[in-house]
Amino acid sequence: MKYAIIIPDGAADSPIDELGGKTPLEVAHKPNMDKVAMTGRIGTVRTTPAGFSAGSDVCTLCLLGYDPAKYHPGRAPLEAAAMGLQLQPQDWVFRCNFVTIVDDKMVDHSAGHIKDPEARTLLSAVAESIVSAGAASPVTFYPGVSYRNLMTISGGDFSRLAATPPHDIPDQPVRGHLPRGAGSQMLLDMMQKAHDVLKNHDVNLVRRQFGENEATDIWLWGQGRAASVPSFAQRFGKQGAMITAVDLLRGIANLLGWRNIDVPGITSYHDTNYAAQGRYTCEALDNYDIVCCHVEAPDEASHQGDYATKIASIENIDRYVVGPVLEKLATFPDWRLLIMPDHATQCSTRKHHDAPVPFAMAGVQRQGAVPRLYTEADARQSDLHVETGYELMDYFLAARH
């Protein structure tokens, strides 16, 4: 049996006035996704358990069959696993985003999707300033992809610290969302120091001249300690592979014992090489029991409130990923395909939403009785609703109904 999972990150949405009260999934031309829904099973699944926020860290763990209440260590530790960081028991790891804050408002959680070379130059300047200032505990910065970086602190206790993801507060005042609770003053001091370094840095001066969003600040959040997660082979007896441009997903794959497959030209935005993602997913199915292809583009378009780009990204995923993967799976005697976003992301609010997401599943012993399209509304009309999200993986992999 071959299994494929396609994650159009954040593709689910709410009705949009400019689209005549329809969602991007309803407007998009997506014959392949609809074929999966029409010939297979469609329903909804709750990937954000009670007590958690809707984020790709929590929701992807849930999607892949892991109870976040047992296995979620925090967002930053999952990304540390992608970088191969060897965290010690006393280490705390944080997400360290470059963001754009103007007049106390979160203007851009990605600092204009800052490019890697610029981000690395800025992070080096921030690190030199903070370390030379004599941080209370040993602090180390690690460059990631674009605006996404990590910071570790050796020692201290941040278990009661609260920190808000920057993409949860678009165009909102930041003051009420800054790190708070035990250990927060240390982080706030570092964030202020970084602001002082960044405001007149040459990289930002050039970005200012070109009218681009500057990396005005660092934003520290997603803290946690080293993750401990049983492998996918231990839990489900399957060998897997992941295709993604996002460190968070690569980290989860590493923890699950999956191989991360590098694909040329893929990014976490709409400029990704959709065709290459589809082609490499097809090739990986020859060598692995289960292959997961994650495409970040719909989520990033939603965070910008750009429903036109979101629709285009869904159509490209359908054409260049779902279509070829369906054709490839048909060459195997037994197969199953699961299509679902990890969470919904609303263009209207530019934020994640914790509503159940639509899924479509086709293949051996996964035929539905009532043909439906792959939309939020049709999924809600189905009789298949999975409230405990991590149990969907058992159903997807089960040999029988």
- Tell me the H-state helices in 272-389: 274-284, 297-303, 307-317, 323-329, 376-381
Residue 308 confidence (pLDDT): 98
pLDDT digits 0-9 by tens, 55-80: 999 999 999 999 999 999 888 998 89
Instruction: Work out the angle between the directed axes of helices 56-63 and 247-256 (0-180°, nearest 10).
Output: 40
Query: Is the pLDDT assigned to residue 135 strictly greater than 70?
Result: no
pLDDT digits 0-9 by tens, 198-221: 999 999 999 999 999 999 999 999
DSSP tag of 44? E
Sequence-distant (6+) residues with CB within 8 A of 386 are 43, 44, 45, 46, 392, 395
User: How remote is the C-alpha of 362 from its chain's centroid?
Assistant: 24
Query: Is the pLDDT assigned to residue 134 strictly greater than 70?
Result: no
Query: Domains of the chain (ranges plus CATH)?
Result: 2-71+229-397 (3.40.720.10), 91-224 (no CATH)
Residue 82 confidence (pLDDT): 85
pLDDT tier at 401, thresholds 50, 70, 90: very low
Residue 74 confidence (pLDDT): 86
CA torsion sign for 79, 85, 88, 92 is negative
Q: What is the largest CA-CA distance in the chain?
A: 66
- Tell me the H-state helices in 72-183: 75-83, 116-132
Query: Is the pLDDT assigned to residue 136 strictly greater than 60?
Result: no
pLDDT digits 0-9 by tens, 164-198: 999 999 999 999 999 999 999 999 999 999 999 99
Query: Is the pLDDT assigned to residue 400 strictly greater than 60?
Result: no
Query: Is the pLDDT assigned to residue 235 strictly greater than 60?
Result: yes
Residue 131 confidence (pLDDT): 82
Average per-residue pLDDT for the chain: 94
What the block records as the tokens of 81 is 């696993």
pLDDT digits 0-9 by tens, 280-303: 999 999 999 999 999 999 999 999
Query: Is the pLDDT assigned to residue 93 strictly greater than 70?
Result: yes
Is residue 385 classed as helix, strand or coil in its secondary structure?
Answer: strand
Is residue 173 classed as helix, strand or coil in its secondary structure?
Answer: strand
pLDDT tier at 268, thresholds 50, 70, 90: confident
pLDDT top residue among 26 and 370 = 26
Report the C-alpha gap between 245 and 297 in whole angstroms.
10
Beta strand 41-45 pairing with 139-145: unpaired
